[in-house]
């Protein structure tokens, strides 16, 4: 084989090997991206927020991280938490989560009488409209035959004992809707019915009763 032909063969072989290597690297990168999940926004405290202080927009920042490493209950938009109050002192750089906001631990301080229970749910609703003492109805929507949806009243006039903003759903029918983490004072029978009703539920919605409050 002449020198020129040998050089051409080696050059062609180098091109083929290079293409194979590039394809392998590309495949590995794609597999890594699939494993890490999409990049999501995570709301963090830009500066320390003292316990009891209102959460202001200037106190917040947004970082981006693979969904695999983002907290499961993280907020994605600062607007979801602006106006809430810090339940504990929140150091700078901390990911904002419902457990850090006022109201998340308030249920533990509520006196529960015999036969009562505290039921915790996350539902579509606005936290500031569902302050402690408010009475709320809870609607549950489930998928019906042929893709239809059926909504029914699951709980009537339940007393809110604690509430805090909850992260909005990033996709599906609830995408973009405000959500709230609620602790409700219920009877044992109501608590059981609420748990059963949530099985397979597409959506829970809390509807406050305007001007109604519990007399305790």
For position 48, what pLDDT does the model report? 93
**113 and 199 inside one domain:** yes
Q: Are 132 and 110 in contact (CB under 8 A)?
A: no
For position 186, what pLDDT does the model report? 92
pLDDT over 80 (residue 127):
yes
Give long-range contacts, CB 8 A cutoff, 24+ apart: 129-133: 129/208, 130/160, 130/163, 130/180, 130/182, 130/206, 130/208, 131/160, 131/163, 132/103, 132/106, 132/160, 132/161, 132/162, 132/163, 133/159, 133/160, 133/213, 133/214, 133/216
**166 and 208 inside one domain:** yes
Whether residue 26 lies inside any domain: the answer is no
**197 and 123 inside one domain:** yes
**112 and 207 inside one domain:** yes
Mean pLDDT of 61-70: 88
For the chain, the domain total comes to 2
Q: pLDDT confidence of 29, banded at 50, 70, 90?
A: low
Could you say which of 64, 80, 97 is where a domain stops? 97
Residue 45, burial from CB neighbour count under 10 angstroms (0-12, 13-18, 19+): buried
**88 and 178 inside one domain:** no
The tokens describing 5, both together, are 């032909």
**Higher confidence at residue 176 or residue 50?**
50
Could you say which of 97, 131, 163 is where a domain stops? 97
Identify the CATH number of the domain in which residue 79 sits. 3.90.1210.10
Whether residue 29 lies inside any domain: the answer is no
Mean pLDDT of 88-112: 77
CB atoms within 10 A of CB 8: 12
Could you say which of 48, 69, 97 is where a domain stops? 97
Domain boundaries, position 89: 39-97
**205 and 150 inside one domain:** yes
**56 and 151 inside one domain:** no
Could you tell me the pTM of the whole model?
Answer: 0.64
Q: Are 84 and 54 in contact (CB under 8 A)?
A: yes
Measured in whole angstroms, how far is the alpha carbon of residue 44 from the centre of its chain? 14
**128 and 168 inside one domain:** yes
């Amino acid at each position: 084989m002449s020198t020129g032909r040998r050089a051409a063969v080696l050059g062609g072989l180098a091109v083929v090997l290079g293409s194979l290597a590039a394809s392998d690297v590309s495949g590995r990168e794609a597999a890594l991206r699939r494993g890490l999940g999409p990049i999501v926004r995570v709301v963090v405290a830009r500066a320390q927020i003292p316990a009891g202080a209102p959460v202001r927009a200037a106190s917040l920042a947004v970082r981006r991280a693979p969904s695999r490493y983002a907290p499961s209950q993280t907020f994605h938009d600062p607007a979801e938490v602006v106006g809430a109050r810090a339940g504990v002192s929140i150091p700078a750089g901390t990911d904002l989560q419902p457990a850090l906001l006022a109201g998340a631990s308030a249920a533990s301080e509520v006196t529960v009488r015999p036969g009562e229970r505290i039921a915790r749910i996350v539902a579509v609703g606005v936290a500031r409209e569902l302050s402690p003492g408010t009475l709320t109805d809870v609607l549950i929507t489930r998928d019906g035959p042929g893709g239809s949806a059926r909504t029914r009243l699951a709980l009537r006039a339940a007393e809110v004992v604690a509430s805090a903003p909850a992260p909005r759903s990033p996709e599906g029918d609830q995408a973009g809707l405000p959500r709230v983490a609620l602790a409700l004072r219920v009877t044992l029978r109501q608590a059981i019915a609420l748990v059963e009703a949530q099985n397979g539920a597409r959506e829970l919605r809390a509807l406050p009763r305007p001007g109604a409050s519990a007399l305790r």
